[in-house]
A and B are shown apart, each in its own frame.
Chain A
Amino acid sequence: MRHEKIIVEGRAQRGLPAKVADAMSILEVRNLKVSYSTGGPQILKGIDFEVGGDDFCAVIGPSGAGKSTLIRCINRLVEPTEGDIILFGQSVCPLNSGDLRRLRRRIGMIFQEFNLVNRMSVMDNVLSGRLGYTGAFRSFFKAFPKEDIDRALNLLERVGLQDHVDKRADALSGGQRQRVGIARALMQRPEILLLDEPTSALDPKISRDVMGLIRELAAEFKIPVLCNIHDVQLALETCNRIIGMQDGYKKFDGPAKGMRKQDLDEIYAMEVL
């Protein structure tokens, strides 16, 4: 493990893409502990896992287990208290704000409530995925380079919103808004996708459409996915790996196919399904 990491860092130093070497693991979480306030309750109590290049990994568990906290630690929307997160071969925790921004550009995130800027057009929302690469002048005038605009139009077509490009984000339905969220995340050309309950605000049918779309696009662009999800059935259908959490601990980690009923019952401490 340590050996691999050295290789990755060595490649980065020589200016080679880290992607070649990280067939093993893109993300490593080590003994992660989080409390929101010093001396406050510990929400994550020592989590360890790795995510590899072709993982579509679901994080399931009861409400309050700390799933959102875990996901949000990875791009440091929440600050880890203890432990380490290694992403693309570099430790996330000690980064200064500039390096953190550069790292965040490579992480796509999709939110439960879509987190779109409502008063902005669909197109501008999608383009805002490129802000990490856009200078102050271009950002001010919303003048994105042509290749960004082409890519945004392409992605909007891929998610089926080619007829809604100029609409305001709040004029769309929930399922359509989440598609905008997906397009915005993919605009970044992310190397990993973090999803915090992307379908909780959607009805069962649309949820399946949206998860199917995410899986299709993630496979096409070869992006590993870490996804919080409440719908266990949907998680088992979509994902190839399940991490089960309960009360700040990891209770289960394994392929979705091998998951047994009693594993689920144990995670939720009740009868599921």
Chain B
Amino acid sequence: MSITAAPVSAHGFDAYLAHKRRRRINNWLLVACSVALLAWCFWDTIMFDTDWQRMGGALGIGGTLERFLLIDWSLLPKLLVPALETLMMATLGTILGCVFSLPVAWFGAANVTPSKYFFYPLGRFLMVLSRSIHEIIWALLFVGAVGLGALPGILAVAMRSVGFISKITAEAIENIDPKPVEAIRAVGGNQFQVMYYGIVPQILPVIIGTIIFEWDINIRRSAIMGLVGAGGLGLVFFRQMAMFNYGGVTLVVLAVLVLIAIGEVISHYARKAVI
């Protein structure tokens, strides 16, 4: 094409303008539709679904707020053990989740899977399964299976962690540099040695980062496990709520906040230390 190309014909110019106009109309239609959809959602969920009778007006809201703000500090010593339990639940759940993740990641990484037609789809399915079931549902299942207490919470946290950890690990395995792996095969290394010397050093930083991240999230998850009877701070929260002790509820919420902040700080430094 040269600079002195044929001038844009009148027809081409008109077509261009028409095209532009059409695009603008389309855009406006899209915006209008979105707004209508939003309005409908708002109407249906808030205006229609809310029990307006129970809304006590500004006075009611203020009263409730006041009840929550009168923090019941006498509860504080009784929170220490549940808080530790929550932390333990997160930690053990993460560790157990890592253990479960090992085979899942191995199955679900295309380049190391023992069988492309059976184990690979199985691994991928387990990853999706773990993540598509909410931790509370996992906890309900395990409370049903092993009874109340911290154990079902640990198991639930573990199951919920498998998806993320194994998915990231499998992806890291798929993205490794194959050259060192080849070298270990060439010296006569067996399957385990190839993995341990050729693959693990390459994926270790990613995995450790992921585990720390998951542990951080698992503190949040463990904090609500008690709502379904699986121990920890959530259980205290549930009891205070049942006793209408709003001051106690607030204290538990504060305790959860502190716990999460502690987790944040620890994981920040842990991540710095490894990476």
Give the complex CA separation of A115 and B185 in angstroms: 11
Give residues 100-120 of A contacting B (CB, 8 Å): 101-105, 107, 109, 111, 113, 115-120
Is A113 a contact of B201 with CB atoms below 8 Å?
no
Number of interface residues of B (CB under 8 A): 21
Pairs A–B under 8 Å by Cβ, sample size 18: A75-B186, A101-B190, A104-B187, A111-B182, A113-B179, A117-B180, A117-B183, A117-B201, A118-B177, A118-B180, A118-B202, A119-B202, A120-B201, A131-B184, A134-B193, A136-B192, A139-B193, A184-B187
Is A117 a contact of B192 with CB atoms below 8 Å?
no
CB contacts (< 8 Å) of B198 on chain A: these are 117
**A132 and B189 contact, Cβ closer than 8 Å, known pairs A117-B198, A119-B204, A120-B197:** yes
CB contacts (< 8 Å) of A119 on chain B: these are 201-202, 204-205
Give residues 178-195 of A contacting B (CB, 8 Å): 184, 188
Give the complex CA separation of A119 and B206 in angstroms: 13
Q: How many contacts between A and B, using CB within 8 angstroms? A: 74
CB contacts (< 8 Å) of B201 on chain A: these are 117-120
**A77 and B196 contact, Cβ closer than 8 Å, known pairs A115-B179, A116-B180:** no
CB contacts (< 8 Å) of A105 on chain B: these are 187-188
Give the complex CA separation of A140 and B190 in angstroms: 12
Output the nearest chain B residue to A185 by Cβ-Cβ distance.
Answer: B187
Is B197 a contact of A128 with CB atoms below 8 Å?
yes
Is A104 a contact of B188 with CB atoms below 8 Å?
yes
CB contacts (< 8 Å) of A80 on chain B: these are none
A244 interfacial by beta-carbon distance below 8 Å: no
Report which residue of B177, B184, B193, B204 has the largest number of chain A beta carbons within 10 angstroms of its beta carbon: B193
Contacts A104-B187, A105-B188, A128-B189 aside, 10 further interface pairs with beta carbons under 8 A come to: A75-B186, A77-B182, A107-B186, A128-B187, A131-B189, A131-B193, A131-B197, A139-B192, A139-B196, A188-B188
